[in-house]
Chains A and B, each alone.
Chain A
Amino acid sequence: MIDFGYTLSKSGTLKIENLDDSRFKALHKLEPDAYKCINCGSCTASCSAGVFTELSLRKILLSLQRGDEKDYINQLQSCMLCGKCMLVCPRGINTRHLILSISKIYNTVDR
């Protein structure tokens, strides 16, 4: 490539139709509550690991719903499965189980 002395920035816009949410659909089969989240942020606020790392279950779940997991999925590695998020979730989502299912379907263990 000829160097013109500048670079083009990549667009940060999510193009929904280019995203693949087939894995989220598989997750939804295992976890029927995966759509119940109202993004209140209680899980993130109470998270023991979230204080020291970027971990935000709210953002992870939302990004999975949109089929745009790449930016967030690795955060899950900091999770210690303490289950505090499960205690605080107002919609009663079994977040601990959800996290395990996410790990299974998205293979986060291997990453």
Chain B
Amino acid sequence: MKILIVDDDRINSTILNRLLARDGHAVVIAHDGVEGVDVFRRENPDLVLMDIRMPQMNGYEAAREIKRLVANRFVPIIFLTAVTDEESLVQCIDAGGDDFLTKPFNRTILQAKIDAMERIRRLHGELRRQKEKVERHQEQLQQEMEVGQHLFAKIVSAGNLLDAPCLKRWTSPMSVFNGDLLVAAYNPAGGLHIMLGDFTGHGLSAAVGAMPLAEIFYEMTAQGFSLSELVEAMNAKLIAVMPTRMFCAACLIEVDFRQQSLMVWNGGLPDILVTDGAGRVVRRLISTRLPLGVTALTREDRKMEIMEMKPEHRVFLYSDGLIEAPNLGGEMFGLDRLMSHFNGQVNPEHIFDNILGSLRVFRGDADQSDDISLLEIDCSRAGEEPPGGVPRRSEKSLPPAPWEIAFSFDAGTLKNVDPLPTVINAVMSIQAPTGHRERLYTILAELLSNALDHGLLGLDTDMKKTPTGFIEYYNQREERLAVMESGFIRLSLIHEPVVSSTDGRRVGGAIRIRLQDSGPGFDFTRVQSKLEGNSGHGGRGIALIRSLCSELVYRGAGNQAEAVYRWTYQ
């Protein structure tokens, strides 16, 4: 150990030097405070023995200066003093001294004090190294978090339509990562899919599960899969990748403006509240399913609840973090405080902000203990498009070529699978007519649902004319589909390129869609005439197809349809 002695008394310093040298220490000596600081700078000793009364700069000042020089390192300073009055000793400690040694020097005590200081110095060094290590880890973690956060934001908010005019949302993650997943996207038919998911726990581990779900949500919604199929795929994914103790309480909603209906699936989230024009709760959509990622789903588990949507309806959904948010006293915000906002005394427009306001006041400076999310759907604005319009998938058209695809679906398949996404995705992968996905989707959706609903299931199209009838229609459809035993739908799509008469280039194409079902057919002349000018709830199917297609004919008993859709290649 290198020891600096600062003492103007040469006899003292000589004695000390000898004692220390005998114990194997390297010694450097200074004779006043100024020199002491200089030598300290130059020699960088491990310990300092400091006299108090010295010319130029006294021991207190020199000690202060030295301690300033080594702010990050522990260099013990032991004062050498002849006095033992309390005040001088206090001054020693105040000046940054770590101990004192009274003259005349006793070798044993000197040794003991140096050993003790050495132990403290080592401990200090160890602490410092650990602190640096922690800081390095912290830094590394911070960087990894930032990368993760970027990825998370890109994946989870890719094409997110939370700026849809009918949505109001607020989410407050407890840490950098949000374990609450809030996503929305339009399907090709213009329906809005919304999902709120709340993963077990919070932070990174919860957010990791959110990423595959967000991807499934966007991808399958864009491809035209139904909510039931989204639920099925998400559940299967979570079971496959998540540990048993992790799951995701979730709610999926489809806002169908055309049918003026809401489809809801609630697995494990608190009651979803639907309010009327006065802001009173008129309906609660309670959780009737297990959360996602717990067990395989039955047919029943995938079923949606369907309700009529009225313009005055507002739908509120939230994660349990809202009602469980604690204040400084450890009390929870609670259901009663939340429900007090739905007393019918408040303009429903303000309920959302009022809830957040009262939550803020209640929480005060209390730490957040979970992720919190609140979402409102304003049904009066369900038909409005987002400011930037509905983003379309960018798909690159392939040059028009002749092709033909045929499908045949039997009852067993139709019971379990919606053929529509399969058909539309086949067309998109062969030809990908840019900008035509939504129109083709609508045409095929109408043709297929006519064949299935009316042809095979014998449902009455007139039922769909009123909103309540539509719900009844939907429920009957589910029931009949579940017990359907026979029947088929055959579909073929034949594409012919359209050739320019001037230069022979292929400028577009015509897709001939032929559909046949095993049902008894219908009197198409009657239905068609009835549909003139009908823009009500249901039954518009045929009119809609006619408006998008260049031809539409029914054949046979009315169980064969043929439509032609034309597109231009750019």
- Pair from one complex: no
